[in-house]
Chain A
Amino acid sequence: MLPAAIINGLMFGAIYALVALGLTLIYGVLHIINFAHGAMLMLSLYAAFFLFQLANIDPYLSIAIVTPAAFIFGYLIYRYGIGVLSKGKDQNILLITLGLSIIIENSALFFFSGDQQTVSLSYSFEAFDLGFMYLSYPKVISFVAALVICALLWALMSLTDMGRAIRAVAKERQGARLVGINVEHIFAVTFGIGIACLGAAGCMMLPIFYVDPYTGNIFVLVAFTIVVLGGMGSIIGALLGGFIIGITESVGGLLLGESLGQIGISLIFILILIFKPTGLFGSKV
């Protein structure tokens, strides 16, 4: 039972990691918490849902549509919304993202209703037989896709000029301006990448979860814990933190029963705050 719980936790942890990755990247570079993260995750889930309902596109294939669309949405909403309205003050950004989340959630409630929606795929209940457990296809696909996206993000951040510019802006905005980096553009790109992670996560979640206007918040609360655990702004921290939290929740559910499984997450959160408030990987971007 325990190995099965651990593997299940890893699978879910990969999706948690994606949500946390977006949050930690935006925090690391823009130094703000995106309070609209949950609302934007929910929008991604609905995007995948409607692509499935109306155009019959498999949610996993939707990743290729929703992820770039989420990037563009994130870029534009930062460049021409948050960035302009905040007038360069961090506390304004905080309030704007909070306001944005209220607007998005209530619009969703108005247009999509509060009903929980699910999709069922032809292969939803097919599974690999590992001998000691069955592992459903959707979980395996989500896991692999999440790892691929993390690897791509790592490559972008360490191997390209854009990635280096993002890391440069994270620590030294004036120096960045003086080498000719357009800081506002980099902020918007970073915000776009953060939202693109949500786009991918939303598509992966849809087949194994439900969507309603508040789904996003369930995951974002967990993602906050992951970000604190991994270290604010750390990409590798978000990935490892996602796995640790995924496993904790799953093993906790096994030992304490499904409804108490999340106690472990809160416990980790408290322990980290007491013993290592900078998280596992400090604040490296």
Chain B
Amino acid sequence: MSMITVKNLSAGYGFVNVLRDVSLDINAGEIVAVLGSNGVGKTTLNNTLSGLIKPKSGEISFEGQSLVGASPEAIVNLGMIHVPEGRKLFPNLTVRDNLELGSYRRGKSDRAANLEDVLDTFPKLRDRINQIAGTLSGGEQQMVAIGRGLMSNPKLLILDEPSLGLSPLLVEQMFDLIKRINEKGLTILLVEQNVIQSLAIADRAYVIEEGAIAISGNAAELQDNAELKKSYLGL
């Protein structure tokens, strides 16, 4: 049974359609990668899923419930969390405040326990807990962004370009970490430009070109897909 189903979704800004007729689905427990280069509509897809922009047409349903017209708060309440590209941390607040605001909608009930979990996942943040988030390094900020997403006990985590701007070593660690979070039972939509690393950890993948799904299939099979190799890997 799929956790989220997107059917014939079109979305964009003003008169411009960025996404055209996109359909995809994600099953509980999967890592699904959405791949594509800059400007093909990956972030528009995420922003539509998380309610920041309204779809022009099409259907999105999360656990059987329609998300079309739902507010971002309502979508957070349902358990779908979007960790945005560029992190969008609260730069003037401490790491602790950033993380705790991740559970803003849940109140204080299991905040302390969730914070402990996040700090176990990202031990480095323990030393940084009272530091102002804007002063952290890029890698640490990405940890806070994912940690903030985990604070609300989500069912589905949308990660938008988590490897962007990280050093090669950190990129490797970031993908390991995504895999580990997934193994704990969290479903993940991974939106990336890093095709090789994403296919290595994903179960299935969709490739977006010019706002529409161009290729889709099992990650393992896509690793050998000639068209994909040619367009994205230059092989």
Contacts and interface: CB of A to CB of B under 8 A. Distances in A.
B52 interface: yes
Of listed B84, B87, B104, residue having the most chain A CB within 10 A: B104
Nearest to B46: A178
The secondary structure that dominates the B interface is: loop
Nearest to A233: B92
Contact of A179 (B87, B107, B152): B152
Contact of A180 (B90, B91, B92, B152): B152
Contacts of A171: 90-93
B104 A172 contact: no
Interface residues of B, number: 28
Contacts of A172: 88-91
A167 B91 CA distance: 10
A249 to B, nearest CB: 32
Interface size class of A (residues with CB under 8 A): 10 to 19
A180 B105 contact: yes
Nearest to B148: A179
A164 interface: yes
B52 to A, nearest CB: 6
Contact of A168 (B52, B83, B93, B105): B93
Most buried by B among A174, A176, A179: A179
Contacts of A165: 101, 104
A115 interface: no
Nearest to A184: B71
A182 B105 CA distance: 10
Nearest to B89: A175
Majority secondary structure, A binding face = helix
Interface in A152-188: 161, 164-165, 167-168, 170-172, 174-182
A178 B72 CA distance: 6
B87 to A, nearest CB: 8
A187 to B, nearest CB: 14
A238 interface: no
B135 interface: no
B21 interface: no
Contacts of B211: none
Interface stretch (B5-13, B60-68, B73-81, B199-207): B73-81
A283 to B, nearest CB: 9
B159 to A, nearest CB: 12
B50 interface: yes
B102 interface: yes
B100 interface: yes
Most buried by B among A165, A170, A176, A178: A178
Contact of B73 (A167, A181, A284): A181
Given A165-B104, A171-B93, 17 more contacts: A161-B100, A164-B101, A165-B101, A168-B97, A171-B91, A172-B88, A174-B52, A174-B88, A176-B90, A178-B52, A178-B76, A178-B82, A179-B101, A179-B152, A180-B152, A181-B101, A284-B92
27 contacts: A161-B104, A165-B101, A167-B90, A167-B92, A168-B90, A168-B93, A171-B90, A171-B91, A171-B92, A171-B93, A172-B88, A172-B90, A172-B91, A175-B89, A177-B72, A178-B52, A178-B82, A178-B83, A178-B84, A179-B76, A179-B81, A179-B101, A179-B102, A179-B148, A179-B152, A284-B92, A285-B92
